[in-house]
Structure 1
Amino acid sequence: MKIVAFGASYSSTSINKTFAAYATEFFPANEVEILDLKSFPLPLYTTDLEKEIGKPQEAIDFVEKLATADLLIISVAEHNGSYTTAFKNLFDWASRFKVKMFENKKVLLLSTAPGPRGGLSALQSATARFPIHGAEVLGSFSLPKFADNFAAGQGITDETLKSEFMQVIESAKQHLA
């Protein structure tokens, strides 16, 4: 099994990238690839720009990376109650190349944030939106107050939250079996 994981953020210190990488540890895999979205720099999408430059290679490369996965683990970052602008831009360009960019892909959706809702609004948006683009969402989990509830080398530190997370992981594993 190949897992492709990423935090839906272009931040060099993305807590969502950290969280997505952490989640990969709970799945047996022959190969794990953690994407850094900074590897897919794109201009701001407009239909005028698309007419001018066509479909950028970075959007094509992103969709091709998704296609290699048996399982996608995506932790969506949230800015002002929605996806980050940079991720939404990548999503928009990629959907112009392939509307069903998650076609037949099993997806575990996560989110985390410094605040008490843990990126829940962006997670809810992704949970509703990604199936339209072909994703089979196996489960979702939001980790609130990342700095208080997560430690490097240890993972989720709050026992109640870790138990809830593990229930989502076990359910996803059953869907993969």
Structure 2
Amino acid sequence: MKILAFGASSSKTSINRALATYAASLVSDATVELLDLNDFELPIFSEDKEKEIGQPKLAQNFIAKMKSADAIIVSFAEHNGTYTVAFKNILDWASRVSREVYQQKPVVFLATSPGPGGAASVLNMATTSAQFFGATVKGSMSIPSFYENFDMSSLQLSNQKIKYELELVVSELIKSLGGKNV
């Protein structure tokens, strides 16, 4: 089983990348591939730019990564209540290669932020629009106050209640693939 995981942020110190990595580690007997959105940096999408350069190889590569996975875990960073520019841009480019960006794969959508809102706005946006991008959402979860609930030295959730809730969300992903629970 191959799990593709990434934080929907270009930050080198992304807490959402840390969360996605941790969630993917809960899937035993899986190969995990971690994506870095910095590897898919493209010009800002526009129809004019698309006419000029066509479908960029990096957007095609992003879709190929989605196709290669059995399941996908994404943790969304929130900028001003919405997607980060880095994620929105690759989503726009990739959707021109294949409207079903997530390739009908089972997905878990997560979000976190340093504040008590836990990036819930962007998570709601991603979950609501998932059907338009070929995602089969098996679970979603917002984690508030990241630094109070996640130990960055051990890269694990330190809040046991939240840890248990995340394990339940990830177990739905595993069940959808015919595996055993966390």
Alpha-carbon offset, residue 22 of structure 1: 0.3
1:176 Cα offset (Å): 2.2
Deviation of 1:175 after TM superposition, in Å, equals 2.3
Q: CA deviation at 1:86?
A: 1.4
Cα distance in 2 for residues equivalent to 1:168 and 1:50: 37
SS in 2 for 1:78: coil
Q: Does 1:157 align with 2:177?
A: no
Instruction: Please show how residues 17-36 of structure 1 align to structure 2 within 5 Å.
Output: 17-36=17-36
Q: How do residues 99-118 of structure 1 correspond to structure 2 at under 5 angstroms?
A: 99-118=99-118
1:123 aligns to what?
A: 123
Give the corresponding residue for 2:74. Answer: 74
- Structure-1-length-normalised TM-score: 0.95
Question: Aligned AA for 1:170?
Answer: S
Deviation per CA, 1:34-82, whole angstroms, max 9, x where unpaired? 0011001100011111111111111111111111000101001100111
Equivalent residues of 1:3, 1:29 under 8 A apart: no
Q: CA RMSD in A?
A: 1.2
Residue 45 of structure 2 is matched in structure 1 by: 45
Give the number of equivalent residue pairs: 177
In structure 2, the partner of 1:59 is 59
The alpha carbon displacement at 1:139 in A equals: 0.2
Which structure 2 segments of 5+ residues have no match? none
Q: How far off is 1:29 after superposition?
A: 3.6
Question: Which consecutive residues of structure 1, in runs of 5 or more, have no partner in the other structure?
Answer: none
Moved over 3 A (4+): none
In the alignment, which residue of structure 2 is the partner of 1:93?
93
Provide the identity percentage: 45
